[in-house]
Structure 1
Amino acid sequence: MKFQMKKRNTLLTIVGLGALVLNATPGYGQEQNNADLFEMSLEELMNVEIVSASKKSENVFNAPVSSYSITREEIARSGASSIPEALRLCPGVIVRETSNGNYDVHLRGLDNTAQYTRTLEQQNRLTLVMIDNRPVFNYDQGGTFWESLPIDLIDIERIEVVRGAVAPLFGPNAVTGVINIITRTPDQKGPHAVANAQIAPGQTQVANLAVGYGLNEKLHVTLSGNYQKRDRFDDLYYFYQSDTFSSDLSEVPDAALFYPDPSLAQNKYGINAFVNYEANDQVSLDLSAGLQDAESQKVYVSSLTPLGTNGISSKYLNLASRVYGVGTRVSYNTGYSFVDHEGGIEYNFRTADAVVDYRWQLSDRLSVRPEFNYQHIEYDQLNTTSQINTYAGSVQVDYQLLDNWRLMGAGRVDKFDILKDAYFSYQLLSTYKLSEKSLLRFGQSRSTSGAFWTPTSINYSITNDMAFNGPGSGPFYTYNLSGNRNLKLASVTLTELGFRTHLSRNLSLDVDAFRQKLRDMNMFVMTEMTYQPTGYPAPYPAYVPERIQFSFENLPLTATQLGLTVSANYIASAKFQFKPFVTIQRTQVIDIPRGANTLPVDSASNPYNIYNGFDDEHKSTPAVFGGLYANFSPSQKWNINLNGYFFSAHTQFHQYDLERESTVGAISGKVLINSKVAYQVIEPLQVYLNVRNLTGSTSREYYGSDRTSRSVMFGASYNF
């Protein structure tokens, strides 16, 4: 077994907790001294930097798209203990917990638009997640394995979220947006170190450590490590066939194989190395490398219950440079993963990316940025090895037409060697400053998904024995699964109108209205079934399947979403900050398939139900969701934070709901309140009490997932 997590637990815990007593010299860390924040001006607190909105540094107020930046100070003060949980601080992001530390994350929604699907099709395959512009996407069937991120909160400078179709800037899979995690870059000479650890007895252990050295002000080396061990809040499993919750696994075949540790929610670690070199304003070099290992019970793929045991181990190398306007990035990622249980669906993967761009400043008002991309992905899975090569070119034009009127456009062409068609994405943006304090923005864009390995390339066949009279007696049937290289890639077309204003020196408001339309989703579909006579007398059936063919097919459905996001930022002083936000949306879906894996029911022209569709309002995305962030620092030693997240009641579906009525997908409306109180004992040492889910709400947030629980965490951070 490649996942030797239990053997590492004791060592990693000792290292993480022991790091709290490190003696170090001035440096950086996840926690920033309150004294530093007391010295920040209102302008510095109001104007947060973002790069992902236009691929150049600017403050969020001037960004031409719907975007948000969560700073490391906000993350640390909020008490968020993982990267996906920190996204609950961002407007327009839906974050639902499936088991302790495992989350389903969507930008604006559009989740499970086909309704009667498996848990796999309910995952977010439309949002691109990156670390320092390096994609950390899973190209097997799409989506992000959040537990597989090698970094943790201690490594982060900020998290930038761009909502909307931005594939012209970042490539395929940035269909509903991009989440770009920006890591920290030290800027001081000499050694630096920071440690952070917290524990909720019987539930959660988190430890982080970063140490480094600045040879001078230009060259810095950092090594970091992170560890998380989380137990489930629940002891129940939801069983699809019986539509019941039970902790009894005795009737599950090979239960010890499928669920080797029923109490496990997540067990992971990561180790990273960073080298940052900045010769001058025109020349910089960043090198990062690392590895991670994770095992979890989460909602992804499982034949028995929504929760399955999954694991992933990987290594990466990333090199990025900027030399007099020419930017390059080369990365390589390789690893092994299993889904459902080890010995089930296993695969090895290799991914290589290369990007070259040039920032061409034609005048003070006009810049052009051409970019060229190459990506190679390779998977070994189900006795099949296949690869996908992607070639892409894009250009971005940024023109300051007038002092208060900015125009920006981008176009990108992606060619996948396994698909016949090339795919074009575009973005047309405009901002107009009504005054120095108010800005209007408009955007029209279209983005497409990438080509994933399983839907396009899988080729798998297995013969099963129905064993009417014992093993080997037959009759036998063949199960075939094949990819489809004639698939059309999913796309979203977006129209967006936004308004930002500083109502006063310490109060800002951001409003964006959007309409987005989703087309060409694909799904795992039964396409053929032939029958054979059994030759057995009653009560045996006279005919049984002989050959069952499944493949991936495009769905005729379209989903149109209308929505509005409003967020505010009120900073009375460096002592008090309040940031509420809310999103209201409504989605209509046309031609929802009534079932994709059912037997023939109609006629030769409509045999498998995929085109036997109906129209309905989309119910899987909550109609209202949002949150708040409130921080109060009564003195330089004390900090009190209250943050919350909420979503309205909604209904999730599964393919089993076609066979019987169930209420497990009825997700109740929920309000989560979190609080962190921190006290700085001495300048380098801070202790804190961190309470997640303060009211103790136990309602489930996802179809058949674990109940949630209050988590009382005690922690300390040590940062010179």
Structure 2
Amino acid sequence: MTKKILHLFILLIFAATINAQNIKKDISTLTRSDVLEMSIEDLANYDLEEVMKIMDIVGASSIEELYELLLNKDVTSASKSEESLFDSPLSTTVLSSNEIITSGATSIEEALRMVPGVIVREKTNGVYDVQIRGGQNMPMNNMLIYAENTTTLVMVDGRPVFNYGMGGILWETLPISLGELDRIEVVRGPSSALYGPNAVNGVINLISKNINEDTPVISTNIQGGSLSTFIGDVNVKKQINDKLAMGISGSFETRNRESEEIYAIYADEFLSISEFVDQNDNNPFGKWSNDSYYEMIDEADIAKEKKGVNAYIAYKEKDNLTFNVSTGYLESQAMTSTLGDNPSLHNIRSSEGYHINFVSNLFGFNLQASLNNVEQDFCRGRSGWQQSTEQYNVNLDYLLKWNKLSFRPGISYQSVYYDDRDNIEKLGDGFFNARVALRNFAASGRFDFTPIEKLRLVAALRAEKYNVPDKWMPSYQFIGSYKINENNLFRAVYSRANQSTFMINAYSNYTWNRDGLKGPSYVHFGDNNDPNMMVMNMIELGFRTRPSKRILLDIEAFYNRAKDFSALMPDELSYEVTDIDFSEPTSPSPIGEQTLHTSHRSLDVESKQFGISISADMVISKKLQLKAHVNWQQTKLDNFTDAGRDNIATLQGGELTSIVTANLANDAPTILSGKPKTYSSDLQPGENPLLEQYLASNGILKQIEVLNDVDNEAMPSFWGSLSLTYKPIEKLSITAQGYYYDNYYMYSQYENDPRRAALIAYNIKPELEYSGNMDSKFLLNAKINYKINDNIDVFVNGRNILDNDSQEYVFMDKIGGLYLAGINLRF
């Protein structure tokens, strides 16, 4: 039925060509800024004589030079100053609003597949994992939370939207829609010196459109189709006079999953909700007794829901006296991978809240202040995961210029609060059980020196003072670029960036009651107020060239080393013995409760990564444009301990058994008199090799080793994209995009989970079906767009039209084709 609708829609599009109207702007009204905001596609609407007039408006001496101006957009994120993309000293990519809309991308995350160095994999319909250059899944053999991207800073108009609770980006909570975007700027490589902590692998800055006299008063972009997918936004914006502009926008997004089944660890298969509940009730390896857990998956058919509203006010008295205020409210829900230990690795995550952002230029001083206030539930149905968050950011800088040198000093302050007390029945049920805070103050400076015309030297330095840990952390960038001539530029970068600590690392104070489950009776999650924060150092070489005015090539090679990855690991396993069972006189058994004590601590492992990216933008003709990138990376690990959290707990359990056996007889009188006795083991890998060998030889534990030069295969080693936009006639454009990534292997504790291994031990399953091995995948996307007139576009949009439904993310959904039709309106 869906395909019939699409075929009918395409026929309607071509039928509309008979009465189509001219959509070109009047040449006599165009200004230089109007032309520079054009895309190559916009230029294709004009005939040769009109293109010649446009060349005169911008002072281009040839059509190739005009193409160059439109290809080489200005960028600000790489240096905090506006400059051409070609001259940017860092590995930078700009996606314009027109490129994104033309591509057919249905979300910001999907649009990032067009950016070199960015790996994008879909978990459920419209819910993504996004990584810059990889290097995540640290440590391996642990919870999926450590596979999330916690090293990329995402901003909206310069305002951080980072999650400081668990670390990373909740992509479904981005408060800006595709229709509000002016462009996406992506900077690859450590950038904490410019933007602060967590800009370790790079920065993604989402920049909204300015409101001017050419902005449509009303615009809308709406599309819908298969899997009950509906996406849209409505914008009402107006420049009131030459000083004041205002706007309001609303957006919505709903998506269903292709299947309502969820993956159950204890069954090692995808089950319907009823099967999930039934099998859990009869699970011989431990039952999840908390019925509220099922709230987490009670809407298993829903992949994503999102709705929001934003408002904008811009005031400009003069160039050095401007004010911009934006605010917005957003509600979201996503079916994604779990952040904790649950019987299913599917998890519903929800957020609700508002933001305020103030940006101004006050006589050369650039001031930005923002507030995020959000209620977040990281694991619906589980107590302790719901928190109220507040985040305050203030940044102030000033640009000084002296002939060949510029200097931008700045100061920054950030304060983040998390509070879970209103969302728990009693203190102790939450992760924090208090209102907790992370704060940091920073002083920074950026020097930009051009000693000779072709040589540019840049140094950015930043010192960050944290409250947890209570110390200063430096970050820096040293950049040299040499412009061989107008068409060739070489650049070299040495930089250092750090991750901040997160709330769950710094303030965890939670005891998990595992009633009914196998293993310890309790697991305590402890804090670490003096952690070593993850640090990355990088060397990068780049070459940017224009072999012709219609082609822009960018080549970058990088090498980085990272250390001090933090993870939740076992400290001690304790056993409080309260009684003794003498039913077997020859071997009396202790009776009591075990508690596993864990905390977040830095690991000895070091990551080293080498990679290359090549990207190309080409204007083949006025009717045909190409955009492509290919990427290769390899990540190796040194000082890697081949042991996850459960392995260490098992090792401690082995020693604890020996301790209890050796002491129980002597302690029996004390215990039987009513005085409990506590035994404990804090054994770590390598401290008792004989015990490790014994447990390994009996199949209880694999041999634990410290290894060097180990492959981290959690990211594809090769991936790339090729996008072609063809405009056969003035009003019709066709875009086809191919996206490919190589196979990869994501390690997690769940693949070796005792609950799964027990299926084999009890002969319930001869072998385990699901593993971390993810096959390579090729996706083909296409969009056909027809401009009926100045005000109306209609289109059909197919994502993964070959219907390759293989999984893209470990244990998550099979992602097949998505077919949509839509309309754009501008008045």
Of 690-699 and 381-390, the range deviating more from structure 2: 381-390
Q: 1:653 to 1:556 in 2, by over 3 A?
A: same
Q: Give a deviation string over 1:256-308, Cα, whole Å, max 9, x none.
A: 41212110000111100011223333222111000100011111325122210
Find out whether 1:317 has 2:317 as its counterpart. no
Distance 2:603 2:195 in 1: 26
The one-letter code sitting in structure 1 at the alignment partner of 2:500 is G
Q: What is residue 508 of structure 1 aligned with on the other side? A: 552
Determine if contact 2:294/2:381 at 8 Å carries over to the other structure: no
Q: What is residue 738 of structure 2 aligned with on the other side? A: 644
Consecutive unaligned residues in structure 1, runs of 5 or more: 1-25, 469-474
Q: How far is the alpha carbon of 1:243 from its aligned partner?
A: 2.1
Determine if contact 1:578/1:628 at 8 Å carries over to the other structure: yes
Q: What is residue 458 of structure 2 aligned with on the other side? A: 408
- What is the aligned counterpart of 2:80 among 55, 63, 69? 55
- What is the aligned counterpart of 2:103 among 67, 71, 78? 78
Determine if contact 2:440/2:466 at 8 Å carries over to the other structure: yes
Secondary structure class of the residue paired with 1:454: helix
Q: How far is the alpha carbon of 1:114 from its aligned partner?
A: 1.8
Q: What is residue 12 of structure 2 aligned with on the other side? A: none
Q: What is residue 387 of structure 1 aligned with on the other side? A: 437
Secondary structure class of the residue paired with 2:298: coil
The one-letter code sitting in structure 2 at the alignment partner of 1:596 is R
Q: Give a deviation string over 1:55-75, Cα, whole Å, max 9, x none.
A: 111111110011100110100
Q: 1:400 to 1:653 in 2, by over 3 A?
A: same
- What is the aligned counterpart of 2:333 among 288, 295, 298? 295
Find out whether 1:361 has 2:401 as its counterpart. yes
Secondary structure class of the residue paired with 2:729: coil
The one-letter code sitting in structure 2 at the alignment partner of 1:408 is V
Q: Give a deviation string over 1:566-587, Cα, whole Å, max 9, x none.
A: 0111102332110110111111
Q: How far is the alpha carbon of 1:241 from its aligned partner?
A: 2.6
Find out whether 1:607 has 2:684 as its counterpart. yes
Distance 2:301 2:686 in 1: 39
Distance 1:367 1:418 in 2: 34
Distance 2:517 2:489 in 1: 70
Determine if contact 2:40/2:622 at 8 Å carries over to the other structure: no
Secondary structure class of the residue paired with 1:120: helix
Distance 1:713 1:206 in 2: 10
Secondary structure class of the residue paired with 1:297: strand
Find out whether 1:199 has 2:199 as its counterpart. no
Distance 2:221 2:787 in 1: 13
Consecutive unaligned residues in structure 2, runs of 5 or more: 1-24, 26-33, 47-53, 55-65, 281-287, 421-429, 656-680, 688-703, 758-767
The one-letter code sitting in structure 1 at the alignment partner of 2:249 is S
- What is the aligned counterpart of 2:644 among 592, 595, 607? 595
Q: What is residue 306 of structure 2 aligned with on the other side? A: 268
Q: What is residue 337 of structure 1 aligned with on the other side? A: 376
Find out whether 1:631 has 2:725 as its counterpart. yes
Secondary structure class of the residue paired with 2:299: coil
Determine if contact 1:301/1:307 at 8 Å carries over to the other structure: no
- Select the structure of larger CA radius of gyration: 2
Determine if contact 1:190/1:216 at 8 Å carries over to the other structure: no
Superposed CA RMSD in Å reads 2.5
Determine if contact 1:600/1:608 at 8 Å carries over to the other structure: no
Q: 1:503 to 1:420 in 2, by over 3 A?
A: same
Of 479-488 and 401-410, the range deviating more from structure 2: 479-488
Q: What is residue 258 of structure 1 aligned with on the other side? A: 296
The one-letter code sitting in structure 2 at the alignment partner of 1:719 is R
Distance 1:226 1:466 in 2: 44
Q: How far is the alpha carbon of 1:481 from its aligned partner?
A: 1.5
Q: How far is the alpha carbon of 1:312 from its aligned partner?
A: 0.5
Q: What is residue 6 of structure 1 aligned with on the other side? A: none
Distance 1:122 1:242 in 2: 23
> After the TM superposition, which residues 411-430 of structure 1 pair with which residues of structure 2 at under 5 Å, given as runs?
411-430=461-480
> After the TM superposition, which residues 209-288 of structure 1 pair with which residues of structure 2 at under 5 Å, given as runs?
209-247=234-272, 248-251=275-278, 252=280, 254=291, 256-288=294-326
Distance 1:393 1:671 in 2: 46
Distance 1:224 1:712 in 2: 26
Find out whether 1:712 has 2:819 as its counterpart. yes
Q: Give a deviation string over 1:98-123, Cα, whole Å, max 9, x none.
A: 00010000000012032101111110
Of 654-663 and 581-590, the range deviating more from structure 2: 654-663
> After the TM superposition, which residues 637-676 of structure 1 pair with which residues of structure 2 at under 5 Å, given as runs?
637-659=731-753, 660=757, 663-676=770-783
Secondary structure class of the residue paired with 1:165: coil
Distance 2:143 2:570 in 1: 13
Of 520-529 and 649-658, the range deviating more from structure 2: 649-658
The one-letter code sitting in structure 2 at the alignment partner of 1:100 is N
Q: How far is the alpha carbon of 1:536 from its aligned partner?
A: 4.0
Distance 1:389 1:704 in 2: 36
Count of aligned positions:
687
Secondary structure class of the residue paired with 2:168: coil
Distance 2:455 2:402 in 1: 18
Q: How far is the alpha carbon of 1:482 from its aligned partner?
A: 1.5
Distance 2:364 2:517 in 1: 68
Distance 2:517 2:303 in 1: 36
The one-letter code sitting in structure 2 at the alignment partner of 1:497 is L
Determine if contact 2:313/2:324 at 8 Å carries over to the other structure: yes
Determine if contact 1:448/1:489 at 8 Å carries over to the other structure: yes
The one-letter code sitting in structure 2 at the alignment partner of 1:115 is M
Q: 1:219 to 1:350 in 2, by over 3 A?
A: same
Determine if contact 1:597/1:608 at 8 Å carries over to the other structure: no
Q: What is residue 192 of structure 2 aligned with on the other side? A: 167
Distance 2:277 2:594 in 1: 32
Determine if contact 2:554/2:616 at 8 Å carries over to the other structure: yes
Q: What is residue 576 of structure 1 aligned with on the other side? A: 624
Distance 1:358 1:188 in 2: 29
The one-letter code sitting in structure 1 at the alignment partner of 2:410 is E
Q: 1:102 to 1:476 in 2, by over 3 A?
A: closer
Determine if contact 1:99/1:298 at 8 Å carries over to the other structure: yes
Q: How far is the alpha carbon of 1:31 from its aligned partner?
A: 12
Distance 2:682 2:543 in 1: 50
Q: Give a deviation string over 1:129-164, Cα, whole Å, max 9, x none.
A: 000110000010110001111111011000000000
- What is the aligned counterpart of 1:535 among 559, 580, 594? 580
The one-letter code sitting in structure 2 at the alignment partner of 1:622 is P
TM normalised by structure 2 equals 0.80
Q: Give a deviation string over 1:498-528, Cα, whole Å, max 9, x none.
A: 0011001111211000001111110011111
TM normalised by structure 1 equals 0.91
Distance 1:466 1:690 in 2: 49
Determine if contact 1:123/1:143 at 8 Å carries over to the other structure: yes
Q: 1:190 to 1:547 in 2, by over 3 A?
A: closer
- What is the aligned counterpart of 1:682 among 777, 789, 798? 789
> After the TM superposition, which residues 427-576 of structure 1 pair with which residues of structure 2 at under 5 Å, given as runs?
427-461=477-511, 465=515, 477-533=521-577, 535-536=580-581, 542=590, 545-576=593-624
Q: What is residue 136 of structure 1 aligned with on the other side? A: 161
More strand per residue: 1 or 2?
A: 1
Q: 1:542 to 1:134 in 2, by over 3 A?
A: same
Determine if contact 2:183/2:208 at 8 Å carries over to the other structure: yes
Q: What is residue 100 of structure 1 aligned with on the other side? A: 125
Q: How far is the alpha carbon of 1:662 from its aligned partner?
A: 5.9
Q: 1:192 to 1:538 in 2, by over 3 A?
A: farther
Determine if contact 1:694/1:710 at 8 Å carries over to the other structure: yes
